[in-house]
Amino acid sequence: MSDEINQDSDSKTQEPRLWRDKGWTARVIKNEDDEGWAVAMIKDDEPEPALVGPWTMGRDKKNPKPLDANAFGTLVKTASEVIRRHEQQLHAILHKSLMVSTDTADFKISLDIVPDDDDPYAMLSAHDADNTQLAKVRVAPTFKLTKASATTWIENEFRKPD
């Protein structure tokens, strides 16, 4: 029985209010905020929609316009872009780096935050111009990586910051 369920979830669905293909499901839903309709785009195995947006009314001005191949393709592209932007934003928040030049060398200092639910932390690391790792220490996830904090860390011979 479970094989039948898996096959069903992998197959295409092309109904007026429900399309499933390419790892995505588009579902036309009643817009709770007004008289209109909305479409929700859900990536397979995700609990929440990646995108919810207004959907066009049909010719009768009561029912939604049916989904079609062109609309579904556009929705997949848009929802994929939303996810990509979200991932880029999260990466930018969790991974920071900067270059610090001293009288003796240039250093790339990086801070990588690990957002663990129970024990979040960050790793502060230093690399030289050849990308050889010179130091790596665990710091609080609230550590602020700035030119000043990086310079101080270098001047303190990469000892763990307070």
**Residue 2 reports pLDDT greater than 50:** no
**Residue 5 reports pLDDT greater than 90:** no
Q: From residue 113, how far is each of 53, 74, 86, 126 by CA, in Å?
A: 33, 35, 17, 15
Please tell me the predicted confidence (pLDDT) of residue 40: 96
| Three-class secondary structure of residue 81 per DSSP | helix
**Residue 145 reports pLDDT greater than 70:** yes
Closest of 49, 51, 64 to residue 17, by C-alpha: 64
Amino acid at 72: F
**Residue 22 reports pLDDT greater than 70:** yes
Percent of the chain with pLDDT over 90: 81
| Three-class secondary structure of residue 36 per DSSP | coil
Structure tokens that stand for 21 in this block: 């293909």
Residue 90 banded pLDDT, cuts 50, 70, 90: very high
Average pLDDT for residues 63-80, to the nearest whole number?
96
| Three-class secondary structure of residue 26 per DSSP | strand
d(CA 127, CA 107): 6
